[in-house]
Amino acid sequence: MISSDNQSLVHRTHTTQSHQQDEQPDQSSQPTIDFDPQNNCRPPHTNPLRYLLREQRLVFLLIGITIATLFFSSFPLSNPELVTTHDPGFESGSGLDLPANPTRRVLYEARGVGFGSVMSAGGKVPLGLKKKNQRIVVTGGAGFVGSHLVDRLIARGDSVIVLDNFFTGRKENLVHHFGNPKFELIRHDVVEPILLEVDQIYHLACPASPVHYKFNPVKTIKTNVVGTLNMLGLAKRVGARFLLTSTSEVYGDPLQHPQAESYWGNVNPIGVRSCYDEGKRTAETLTMDYHRGLGIEVRIARIFNTYGPRMCIDDGRVVSNFVAQALRKEPLTVYGDGKQTRSFQYVSDLVEGLMRLMEGNHVGPFNLGNPGEFTMLELAQVVQDTIDPNAKIEFRPNTEDDPHKRKPDISKAKELLGWEPNVSLRKGLPLMVADFRHRIFGDPRDNQGGSTTFA
Ligand SMILES: NC(=O)c1ccc[n+]([C@@H]2O[C@H](COP(=O)([O-])OP(=O)(O)OC[C@H]3O[C@@H](n4cnc5c(N)ncnc54)[C@H](O)[C@@H]3O)[C@@H](O)[C@H]2O)c1
């Protein structure tokens, strides 16, 4: 059965056809057209040659082809110089490495973020573009050293991404960068992998004071081993340069004095400090193996005792202990006989050394420390002179595995990095005291945001 609608459809079709037949034009007086009367939708010019010849369409086609040719020869879709050549960083190595994805890197460099490498490859740089600043990750950037490093990198014009799990770091150390588009802070534990597109990685994440690294020794060694593997994997993946902040603790209780980088150390592998000492030694090993085996650009700094504003107040490190105790009118606690020596480096000197190392051409390891040697009793004396001449000294039994002497030999850093510290203890200590006084007593007159700038 056919519905009335369908009937009318059949009827209209029939009408149209008969109408067309009725009005078939005289072919002798009209241009020939190949028109299929069964298909009303098709244009009446299905012969391509005739279609092109009609109304200068051929001319328009030729003009279009010319414009397209000119456009694509001026702005090629892919610039072969932007595509990196084979990079071992894209190959999957250890199971902890991030999955390879070369496309991302190519796109990233094409956007100009990897400007330095494109420039050095001799790529075309559009006129008017300045050399791009770097994008840098600082792990542990909310901590004491890390936050001062971030200040310097931001001041230099770089973009900085801080990764920190805030175990010992504080947002307050970075609050002055909040709102700066060149600064990003990510709560992240380096024991987990992360993917970021960066040019350089400063790997500082690790608790540094004995109180903190002994708090959860397994976590400390995981941070040093798995965290370092993850950051090396990231460096490999994106072709970034990687700097490890190792420690003078890799020398253990040294039998050589002062310690040069060639000294292999005297470390107890099963002691309470081993999670840190051996963790850092393994981190150095991993760093060198990624360098030798996979061609990753790496740098290793062995940092000696450093002090300055933004140190954790009660972290058990000797300078912060003495300063906090003297400010609170408590006796200064000296462990053992107080004759063990340490060298104390002001944090701005260290940051300068780290940046020189990163930008230089030498892998290291490099000792970064102040060779000026003080016994604990001499340090207590400087603190008394700076804060309170009447502060008392109290002796306590020494802690296990506490090294007797530690003093860096910095000849290698002097020669190859052109670096040496220039802030003396008596000059640096008052800035740290002002910061501690503000944080302990909340005195706004002392608030300089923990800056290292001298008045
Ligand atoms: N300050 C020194 O005297 C000294 C000496 C030798 C080596 N170092 C090394 O320098 C680096 C910085 O030391 P610092 O004095 O600033 O210590 P810090 O404790 O102030 O800073 C360490 C930072 O790392 C973060 N962190 C710790 N574990 C983490 C993890 N698993 N994931 C992400 N973030 C984590 C902490 O929250 C903190 O912000 C450390 O690697 C330390 O071993 C410091």
Over 70: is that where the pLDDT of 411 sits? yes
Q: What is the pLDDT of residue 448?
A: 60
Q: In angstroms, what is the span from residue 178 Cα to ligand 1's centroid? A: 21
Residue numbers of the domain that contains 215: 88-119+131-307+345-371+407-423
DSSP run (H or E) holding 343: strand 341-343
Which residue matches tokens 């090294």? 403
List, for residues 341-376, the tens digit of each pLDDT value.
888 999 999 999 999 999 999 999 999 999 988 899
Whole-prediction pTM:
0.73
What does DSSP assign to residue 225?
A: I
Over 60: is that where the pLDDT of 410 sits? yes
What does DSSP assign to residue 259?
A: B
Does residue 106 lie in a domain region?
A: yes
Residue 252 · residue 268 · CB < 8 Å:
yes
Which residue matches tokens 């593997």? 229
CATH code for the domain of 160: 3.40.50.720
What value, to the nearest 5°, has the Cα angle with vertex 305 and ends 304 and 309?
Answer: 130
Q: Where are the beta strands (DSSP E) in 379-443?
A: 393-396
What is the SS3 assignment for 201?
strand
Does residue 223 lie in a domain region?
A: yes
List, for residues 440-452, the tens digit of each pLDDT value.
888 665 556 666 6
Residue of the nearest CA to atom 11 in ligand 1?
204
Phi first, then psi, for residue 298 (nearest 5°) are: -130, 160
CB 205 near ligand 1, within 6 Å: yes
Span 305-330, mean pLDDT? 91
Which residues are 247's β-sheet partners? 303
Does residue 237 lie in a domain region?
A: yes
Q: In angstroms, what is the span from residue 312 Cα to ligand 1's centroid? A: 11
Residue of the nearest CA to atom 13 in ligand 1?
208
Task: Give the CA radius of gyration of the chain.
Answer: 35
Q: Which atom of ligand 1 is nearest to the CA of 212?
A: 19
CB 322 near ligand 1, within 6 Å: no
Over 50: is that where the pLDDT of 384 sits? yes
More confident residue, 331 or 28: 331
Q: Name which of 239, 242, 234 is nearest 287 in CA terms.
A: 242
Q: What is the pLDDT of residue 112?
A: 36
| 318-327 helix and 376-386 helix, angle to the nearest 10 degrees | 40
Does residue 70 lie in a domain region?
A: no
The structure tokens listed for 239 are: 């072709």
Catalytic residue among 213, 276, 290, 307: 276
If pLDDT is split at 50, 70 and 90, which confidence band does 403 have?
low
Over 60: is that where the pLDDT of 92 sits? no
List, for residues 149-177, the tens digit of each pLDDT value.
999 999 999 999 999 999 999 999 999 99
Q: In angstroms, what is the span from residue 141 Cα to ligand 1's centroid? A: 8
Does residue 191 lie in a domain region?
A: yes
Number of domains in the chain: 1
If pLDDT is split at 50, 70 and 90, which confidence band does 199 have?
very high
CB 320 near ligand 1, within 6 Å: no
100-109, 122-131, 180-189, 197-206: which has the minimum mean pLDDT?
A: 100-109
DSSP run (H or E) holding 399: none
CB 307 near ligand 1, within 6 Å: no
Q: Respond yes or no: is residue 307 known to be catalytic.
A: no
Span 16-28, mean pLDDT? 41
Does residue 319 lie in a domain region?
A: no
**What is the rounded distance in angstroms from the CA atom of residue 431 to the CA atom of residue 437?**
10
Over 80: is that where the pLDDT of 122 sits? no
**What is the rounded distance in angstroms from the CA atom of residue 214 to the CA atom of residue 207?**
9
Cβ-based neighbours of 428, under 8 Å, separated by 6 or more: 307, 308, 344, 346, 347
CB 410 near ligand 1, within 6 Å: no
Q: In angstroms, what is the span from residue 206 Cα to ligand 1's centroid? A: 4
**What is the rounded distance in angstroms from the CA atom of residue 137 to the CA atom of residue 157?**
14
Over 80: is that where the pLDDT of 238 sits? yes
If pLDDT is split at 50, 70 and 90, which confidence band does 340 have?
confident
More confident residue, 86 or 375: 375
Number of residues that this document lists for the chain = 455
Does residue 28 lie in a domain region?
A: no
Does residue 184 lie in a domain region?
A: yes
Q: Which atom of ligand 1 is nearest to the CA of 188?
A: 33
Over 90: is that where the pLDDT of 39 sits? no
Over 50: is that where the pLDDT of 218 sits? yes
Span 174-197, mean pLDDT? 96
Q: Which of 174, 206, 349 to mutate to test the pocket of ligand 1 (most atoms within 8 A of CB)?
A: 206
Over 90: is that where the pLDDT of 323 sits? yes
Which residue type sits at 161?
I
Over 60: is that where the pLDDT of 405 sits? yes
Q: Which atom of ligand 1 is nearest to the CA of 203?
A: 41
List, for residues 266-293, the tens digit of each pLDDT value.
989 998 899 999 999 999 999 999 999 9
| 425-441 helix and 318-327 helix, angle to the nearest 10 degrees | 60
CB 190 near ligand 1, within 6 Å: yes
CB 168 near ligand 1, within 6 Å: yes
More confident residue, 301 or 318: 301
